[in-house]
Every structure is written in structure tokens, then in C-alpha cells.
Amino acid sequence: MNEYDSNRIKDLVYGIGYTPTDNPDETDCYVINTCNIREKASDKVYHEVGRIKKKFRNKNKPILIVAGCVAQAENEEMLKKEKYIDVVIGPQSYHKINHAIKKIENKKGLRLNETEFEVIEKFDHLDIVKNNQSKVSNYLTIQEGCDKFCSFCVVPYTRGPEYSRDFHQIISEAKQLVENGTKEIILLGQNVNAYLNQNIGHTKRLSDLILALDDLSGLERIRYTTSHPKDMTTDLIQVYSHSKKLMPFLHLPVQSGSNRILKKMNRKHSSEFYLETINRLKDIKKDIMFSSDFIVGYPDEEDEDFNLTLKLINNVKFVNSYSFIFSPRPGTLSGNMQPHKEANKRLLELQNLLNSFQIKHKNQLKGSISEILIENSLSESDKYFGRDQYFNSVIVSSRHDLTGKVVKAEINNYNQQTLFGEYIGDK
């Protein structure tokens, strides 16, 4: 989400004459776009501000803007704590960045707090701003916010309630991206599969959006992230049998395999429901693979709870996942709790298990022919970076220019992070 927001901020400031620079020492305006999901996010922001202050100690001060979820969470407190910051802009207000910059330019010393939830206004404004991205693979935000209120999560407080963009706005932006050279679109949202656009005469869900993009000439691949198990509806599961461009890979966070812990987390689904959803998808799409998110050491997590999580992992055999020790977030339902004393030990055990399936998956791909979307060339003249259908990073060797193509490659090696292959022909 932050990558998409950062790119749109770039698009916005082009309109008032600002362009990205490779020389940060001479910049006129710094924008620190932040995420509050990870631990100590605000500490990292203040550290970066301190670094900028030091850099410009004997130079003209640049305009300094802190945007994103940390800005939303701390807002006025951040302005009080760090006088060097000129503007804080929340994730639903960054369309106001040009107005804020102009105000600061015209009145030195002015400091602004732009952290109101105005998501509808934001998307209406962004719809008329040209998306200049020309990358082969691009993110496209279709939904923001969250109504789930998981006990560990700050998203409902920093991004606001669930809101789905207008269906036609999304299709228009997708067409623009494809015209600019995009071959893969990754539909993005905090709860992307909660997408629901209701206008007079029609209701559009994520499945409808995928099928509409399926008909878009020039687009090769469709993905979406991040999903909530509760919103894996029948129509979305069924779309895997109809779409030719939807990749057979789904990131579906579960967090825990224990129903007791899931209830404490307020996840609104059981482990049985999660596994049933996985099996329904496998019945529809035989080659589908999964990744997930796990929180280890949630307060009051006992050995039995942790073992149930390991059991679920062994059942699904995730090919890639993200795992973290529980860390309290102020303002959330578990904001005053502390992780279980065995959290570090459990995280290591869980990650070792996840890594074993990741390596097994890559080993199974060795010797196979995979279709790779090539995103860019590497510094070595005969090496190209791309991703396979399961979102694995792949480095392909070829003497031909492969950028922007879907090619066939024979996978001949791998390491923990990357597959290596030899180009054998175009798709």
C-alpha cells in the first residue's frame, strides 16, 4: 500500500514543479511516507528526521513532510515533539500535499496537520491525476480501511473504515497503466477481498473486477492482496475457474491455528473455516499455492495453541509466509499486553518449519519449465529479474532482451530467496 501511495504522491507533486532527485543533499522537500504495522515505527521516523536535521545543519532547511499511518496515529503529538517537521499528512489526506507545500512556501514557519479521514475526496481527486507509473508490474489500490478490529492491529485507527473505490475509476486507471507498459496489476487493499462497490443499478465485487480486467488487452497477469479469510466469498473462489489471468497464488493471513487465540485476536474466523476455504480453492484450482501471516507469542498463548499453529502449517504447506512476535500497539484492544515469555523460541521453531516448505517448493520447481514475467534487466548484461506465477523471484539468463515479456525458463537452481533459470523461449 505504501509503495502505491508513494508513487501517487510523486504524481501529485509533478503538478507543482517538484520531481524526484538522486541527490538528497540538495532537495527542497523531503517526504517520509510511513507505515505503523511494524514495531517501533515512530522511533524510526524520529531517527530519520534527526538524520535530515544533521544533513541540513548548515544549509537552507527543506520542507519536511511526514505522511502515512505513523503521521495519522501521532498527528499533533508529532508536531509538538519534533519542531523540524512542517506537515503531517494522514494516508487519507495525501491528496492535499500540493496545497500544504504551497502554504509552507508562502509562509515560512507555518506547520500543518492534515489527518482527517476523507477517503472519498481523496480518490475523487486522484482520479484526475495521471498515474505516471511505467513499471512492468504495478500496484493498484481498490480498497482502503478495515472494519475487522483485530485486537493487535492499528489499521482501523490509521486508515479508517472500509471503503471501496468506484469500479469505473479502477478500470480507467488500469487501462492507463497498461497503456504505459504494465503487464501485471496487483489489486491492493487492507482487506482487498472486502471490495464492494454499490452504485445505482449495479453491485460490483472483487470477482467482477478481476473478470473485467481479464478482458483488458495487453494485461498478462492479475493478483490481489491482502485478503481476510472471512471475505473469501463463493464468487471469489469460483473466479479462479473463470479468469485466465488471475495467478494461482494467494496470500491469506491466518495469524494462529488455535481457535482460542483467534477468538482473543478477534479474527472472526476459526481454523476449521480457514482450512475449509483453502480446500475449496484447491478443488477449484489444483495448482494454487498459499502464503500467510503468523503472530507468535500472543499473550496467553500456551504450548497447545502454538502446536495447533504448527499443525495448520503442516496441513497447508505454505510456500512463503511472514511471521512476527506479538508487539503491542497503543490504542488497540491488546495495546497494554506483552508477548509470551516463550515467543522468541517459538518464532524460531515456526520459521524453521515455514522455511522447510519454502525450500521444498523451490526444489520441486527445479528442472521444471516456468512462465516468468520479466520486470527488468540486471547489471550483468545477460541477467533478467522476474517473477513466476507463485510470485517467486527468478533470475533468468538470456542473450536476448526479455524486459516486459512473459517467457519460458527452465529452472536449474535456487537459494532461500531466489530461483535461477535459463531462457528457452517466449510464452
Q: What's the pLDDT at 136?
A: 95
Q: Fold for domain 2-116?
A: Rossmann fold (3.40.50)
Instruction: Give the residue carrying C-alpha cell 501511495.
Output: 5
What are the start-end ranges of the E strands in 24-162? 29-34, 63-68, 87-89, 112-114, 137-141, 143-144
The predicted pLDDT at position 125 comes to: 65
Give ranges for CATH 3.40.50.12160 in the chain: 2-116
The dihedral through the CA atoms of 18, 20, 22, 24 has a sign that is: positive
Q: What is the CA radius of gyration of the chain?
A: 23
β-strand pairing of 112-114 with 87-89: parallel
Angle, alpha carbons 368-371-375 (nearest 5°) = 130
CB atoms within 10 A of CB 395: 17
Do 97 and 72 contact (CB within 8 A), yes or no? no
Which residues of the chain form CATH 2.40.50.140? Answer: 366-426
**In the CATH scheme, what architecture does the domain 366-426 have?**
Beta Barrel (2.40)
Closest CA to 384 of 370, 365, 369, 399: 399
CA distance 8 to 101: 16
Nearest to 192 by CA among 152, 140, 149, 244: 140
215: helix, coil or strand?
A: coil
Give just the sign of the alpha carbon dihedral 324, 325, 331, 333. positive
Q: How many residues does the chain have?
A: 427
Taking the alpha carbons at both ends of the chain, their separation in whole angstroms is 30
Q: What is the pLDDT of residue 130?
A: 61
> For residue 128, what pLDDT is reported?
59
Angle between helices 343-365 and 303-316 (to 10 degrees): 10
pLDDT given for residue 108 in this prediction:
83
DSSP H helices in 230-302:
234-238, 259-264, 271-284
Compute φ and ψ for 105, nearest 5 degrees: -60, -40
> DSSP for 327-381?
---TTSTTTT----TTHHHHHHHHHHHHHHHHHHHHHHHTT-EEEEEEEEE-SST
Task: Single out the residue of 10, 18, 79, 24 nearest to residue 55, CA to CA.
Answer: 24
For 121-364, give the CATH class: alpha beta
Query: For the sheet containing 289-296, what is the strand order?
Result: 249-251, 289-296, 320-325
- Please give the average pLDDT of every successive group of 10 residues along the chain, which has 427 residues: 82 89 88 79 89 90 92 89 93 88 90 78 65 83 93 88 92 94 96 91 94 98 97 98 98 98 97 98 98 96 98 98 91 87 96 97 97 94 95 96 97 96 95
> And the C-alpha cell for 394?
527468478
